[in-house]
């Protein structure tokens, strides 16, 4: 009685779709999307920032590994935008329950839901904005997206555990809780779920072509077209952005450090036994494009400096003036792989300045940010 007197005039929801069956049906897909994003996100993170004990064990195969995991990560994250909106629409009337807190247990449960929603919205929103390379915040995207991923995934697990009785009772159309609903609900719910599936299908079909090139023709909404760019390949970081100029690379020499250090001019490098590879640039923002590269095997350069392929790692230093990927660590597996090249040409032409002229790294199963451009120094470790 007392709570009814104190209760403000709250909205009343007559809609029949804001119920546990709809929350479970959409939640199943959202949960699956978050699980896939979490696992593929960890793969991406540890390929880019491995702890020292892992760096030399990271595998250079399969060639298409990072293309697959990061393509799936971005596609699933984009699908999660739709699923999260529908899920929050389904449960938002819960914001208006009165009294807002019934017990300590209930307060804790609501607090965990607040953390879940904040973390889920943060992950999906920052991922989406990162796709278009827009960073309107003062914190580092990678660190924040990675840390909050653990919070989001942990709070999804907690949420599923807390809601397990409702989830069990509404798991399918035939579950005990679902059967008790009025029959006419079924048609409305089917329409909502079909529309949600349709929206996920449209978002996927109009963006997945950025990594899955057989669908390149339907890639209408992805921020980057894999077909556009100098020499048939997009450029994420231009020479101008990296502070590299043609004048700056005049008289360029590759310095190779190690037990037997040496330096090579570009003509000398071109005169070494060459190698070719067809490898994709797989961008962390989700696009991937295959290209034909020619150059010199990194393992040959390392061997000549006294390194031992299979045992030696390398440190690659770029000419760029600033940037978090100016110095890159390359683990022993990548150094030893015969497909890992110091590339001098792209699709049959000398590298353009934006693609890393005079020389750049191209290696299999590796995030694009680690395919260092404007290589200036290679140190055998």
Q: Using the rule CB under 6 A, which residue among 78, 82, 117, 339 binds ligand HEM? A: 117
The residue count for binding ligand HEM (CB under 6 A) is 22
Nearer Cβ to ligand HEM, position 113 or 327? 113
Picking from 313, 288, 262, the residue whose alpha carbon sits closest to that of residue 365 is 288
In the complex, the smallest distance separating the C-beta of residue 231 from ligand HEM, rounded to whole angstroms, is 41
Each residue 164-183 as x (binds ligand HEM by CB under 6 A) or -, in order, gives: --xx----------------
CB 292 within 8 A of CB 347: yes
In the complex, the smallest distance separating the C-beta of residue 183 from ligand HEM, rounded to whole angstroms, is 19
281 touches ligand HEM (CB under 6 A):
no
d(CA 221, CA 213): 14
In the complex, the smallest distance separating the C-beta of residue 111 from ligand HEM, rounded to whole angstroms, is 11
Nearer Cβ to ligand HEM, position 47 or 120? 120
d(CA 362, CA 355): 11
Strands 253-257 and 375-380, bridge-based pairing? parallel
d(CA 44, CA 73): 9
Reading across the β-sheet that carries 375-380, which strands appear in turn? 262-265, 253-257, 375-380, 314-318, 327-330
In the complex, the smallest distance separating the C-beta of residue 70 from ligand HEM, rounded to whole angstroms, is 21
**What DSSP line would sit under 308-376, residue for residue?**
-TTT--EEEEES-SS-TTSEEEE-HHHHH-TT-EEEEEETTEEPPGGGTTT-EEE-SS-BGGGS-SSEE
Q: Using the rule CB under 6 A, which residue among 108, 132, 160, 220 binds ligand HEM? A: 160
87 touches ligand HEM (CB under 6 A):
yes
In the complex, the smallest distance separating the C-beta of residue 68 from ligand HEM, rounded to whole angstroms, is 23
CB 360 within 8 A of CB 342: yes
In the complex, the smallest distance separating the C-beta of residue 40 from ligand HEM, rounded to whole angstroms, is 16
Rule CB under 6 A: which residues touch ligand HEM?
Answer: 19-20, 23-24, 27-28, 30-31, 34, 87, 91, 94, 113, 116-117, 120, 156, 159-160, 163, 166-167
């Amino acid at each position: 009685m007392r709570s009814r007197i104190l209760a403000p005039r709250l909205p009343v929801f007559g809609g029949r779709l804001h119920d546990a069956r709809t929350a479970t049906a959409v939640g199943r897909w959202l949960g699956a999307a978050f699980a896939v994003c979490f696992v593929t996100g960890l793969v991406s993170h540890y390929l880019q920032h491995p702890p020292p004990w892992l760096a030399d064990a990271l595998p250079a195969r399969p060639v298409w590994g990072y293309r697959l995991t990061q393509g799936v990560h971005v596609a699933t994250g984009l699908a999660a935008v739709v699923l999260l909106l529908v899920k929050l629409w389904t449960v938002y009337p819960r914001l208006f329950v009165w009294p807002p807190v019934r017990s300590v247990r209930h307060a804790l449960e609501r607090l965990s839901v607040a953390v879940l929603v904040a973390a889920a919205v943060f992950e999906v929103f920052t991922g989406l904005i990162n796709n278009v390379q827009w960073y309107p915040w003062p914190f580092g995207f990678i660190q924040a997206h990675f840390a909050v991923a653990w919070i989001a995934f942990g709070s999804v697990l907690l949420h599923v555990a807390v809601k397990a009785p409702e989830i069990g009772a509404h798991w399918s159309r035939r579950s005990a809780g679902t059967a008790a609903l009025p029959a006419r609900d079924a048609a409305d719910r089917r329409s909502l779920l079909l529309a949600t599936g349709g929206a996920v299908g449209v978002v996927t079909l109009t963006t997945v072509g950025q990594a899955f090139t057989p669908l390149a023709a339907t890639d209408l909404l992805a921020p980057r077209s894999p077909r556009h760019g100098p020499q048939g390949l997009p450029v994420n970081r231009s020479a101008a952005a990296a502070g590299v100029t043609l004048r700056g690379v005049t008289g360029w020499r590759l310095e190779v450090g190690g037990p037997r250090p040496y330096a090579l001019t570009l003509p000398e490098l071109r005169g070494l036994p060459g190698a070719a590879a067809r490898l994709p640039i797989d961008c962390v923002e989700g696009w991937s494009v295959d290209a034909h590269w020619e150059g010199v095997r990194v393992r040959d350069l390392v061997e000549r400096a006294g390194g031992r392929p299979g045992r030696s790692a390398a440190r690659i230093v770029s000419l760029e003036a600033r940037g978090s990927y100016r110095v890159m660590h390359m683990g022993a597996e990548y150094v030893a792989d015969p497909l890992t090249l110091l590339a001098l040409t792209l699709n049959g032409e000398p590298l353009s300045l934006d693609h890393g002229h005079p020389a750049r790294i191209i290696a299999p199963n590796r995030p694009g940010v680690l395919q260092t451009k404007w290589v200036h120094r290679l140190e055998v470790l």
